Amino acid sequence: MKLHQRHALTLALATCALGAQAQSGYTLSTLSRPSGYLYYTAATMDANGLVRGHGTKNGGGFISVCSGVLFDMLPGLCTGTSFKTNELSWLGTSSATQAARLGNQNFAAVAANDRGTIVGLTVASGKSIAYWYPFNREADTTASTWSVVWNSVLNRQGVPAIKRGTTVSTLPTPPLPDNTTPANYRITIDGLNNNDVVLVNLRSNNSVSPSVPYRYKDGAFTPVNTAPPEPEVHHIATAINDQGDVVGYSQSSQLTATGNMVISPVRWVNGVPEPLGGAELRGYVPSAINNNGQIILNKSETGTVGSAQYAGVWFNGRFTPISMGILGSRTAIATAQNNRGEVVGCSDAPFLWRNGQVIRIADMMNSSGLKLPAGATLSCPSAINDKGSILLSYIPKGGDFTNPTAIRLNAKP
């Protein structure tokens, strides 16, 4: 994606200079699919490289109509088939192949913290959830990465839940605003920090009922937003860091010239949503905030011919676009960051952004002597930890794009 053409040449030269020293320190681990599983996803990675996710296998019945794209696009065809969903994990060691370990049945892990607490979905026995693959992580940039997952699966027998140890508990219903009913809302889980605080949103299904963000811990909900309500303005929280700082966006029923709602990124300070910028950041949505206060933002430009997506980093009041001139693409999505300020994402190719410079992940792999099967295509990264290890996947040549093979690039010490 090209955010600012005038920076493209400078960025390209800087990145070339960086390449020799930044692209040579990785090993590759393939996170294998459990035997008999139709689909699996590696969703989250902790500080030590431990990866968690979930998988689905056929528990009996007619399965041929429930494979590939049909499984994801036409779930109604699969209702007569018995599925089994299982929590999965892969150890953080750097061996070339990591076998999947089976966890709780009927539980799909979607996010976890360094303490081992997991948020995910309880899945009705014999049912399946929508398969989550990296291409649709930011399919709707008006919601956070995890919200896309939660929203897509709630209609497929999935209920938000929290796992501590081996115990899985269904998330309680957050307090409803006055004069509203549960039918006005859907519940999404949008963050989990290392202090076991879960970020939860009551998302309104209409323009009248207000959306309400909460922090949840140990059975108690605390409102994120304590400012007086604004007429026809919704506030959605999209990310939380270990200090409990929350970012998100405000959405007004006022429409732009292209017919879209006005969206502005915000950070809550003492319960009050403060804008991250002015009109120049309108349409951007925060996807993550690290412990230093760095925020990654994404914007989807719709209503135009050849719509584009833009990404950038906000820190200490300054917004820095992630310029994709070196990659020759008009579109970029920032999907994750670590506490060192490194950002991963994808445009026409997966990338690492460090100190204002963009590096192709494929080039990093080549510099480390790492190879994928011939004809394989890398897909969008889903995580980067503070060691610099990166979680992503690849699609084999001629393979099903809804069913990639998960890999982890292990950063050398």
Tell me the average pLDDT across 7-25: 37
How far from 181 is each of 3, 152, 170, 206, 210, CA to CA, in Å? Answer: 43, 22, 20, 12, 12
Residue 125 has pLDDT above 90, yes or no: no
Q: Are 343 and 337 in contact (CB under 8 A)?
A: yes
User: Nearest 5 degrees, angle CA 297-CA 335-CA 343?
Assistant: 80
Tell me the average pLDDT across 109-120: 92
In which domain, by residue range, is 289 found?
Answer: 5-411
Q: What is the pLDDT of residue 71?
A: 40
Phi first, then psi: give them for residue 314, nearest 5 degrees. -110, 130
Least confident of 200-209, 262-271, 325-334: 325-334
Q: Find residue 31's DSSP bridge partners.
A: 98, 406
Residue 319 has pLDDT above 90, yes or no: yes
Q: Find residue 144's DSSP bridge partners.
A: none
Q: Find residue 26's DSSP bridge partners.
A: 411
Number of H helices and E strands in the chain, helices first, is 4, 30
Least confident of 4-8, 25-29, 78-82, 223-227: 4-8
CATH code, domain with 398? 2.130.10
Mean model confidence pLDDT for the chain: 78
Give the chain's end-to-end CA distance (angstroms, integer).
32
C-alpha to C-alpha distance for 413 and 40, rounded to whole angstroms: 29
Digit-coded pLDDT (tens) for 149-203 = 333 333 334 678 899 999 999 888 888 888 787 777 878 888 999 999 999 988 8
Short-list 107, 110, 119, 106, CA closest to 51: 110
Q: Among all chains, which residue has been given the structure tokens 């398969």?
A: 131
Q: From the CA atom positions of the chain, what is the Rg in Å?
A: 21
Beta strand residue intervals within 241-373, DSSP E: 246-255, 261-269, 272-275, 284-289, 295-301, 308-315, 318-321, 333-337, 343-346, 350-354, 357-360
Least confident of 132-136, 234-238, 321-325: 132-136
Domain count, the chain: 1
Burial annotation 361-385 (CB, 10 A radius, 16+ → b, else e): bbbbbebbeeebeeebbbbbbbbbb
Q: Are 87 and 104 in contact (CB under 8 A)?
A: yes
Least confident of 8-22, 38-52, 217-231, 356-370: 8-22
Report residue 233 as tokens: 């303005």
Residue 242 has pLDDT above 70, yes or no: yes
Digit-coded pLDDT (tens) for 297-316 = 999 876 443 456 889 999 99
Q: What is the pLDDT of residue 328?
A: 58
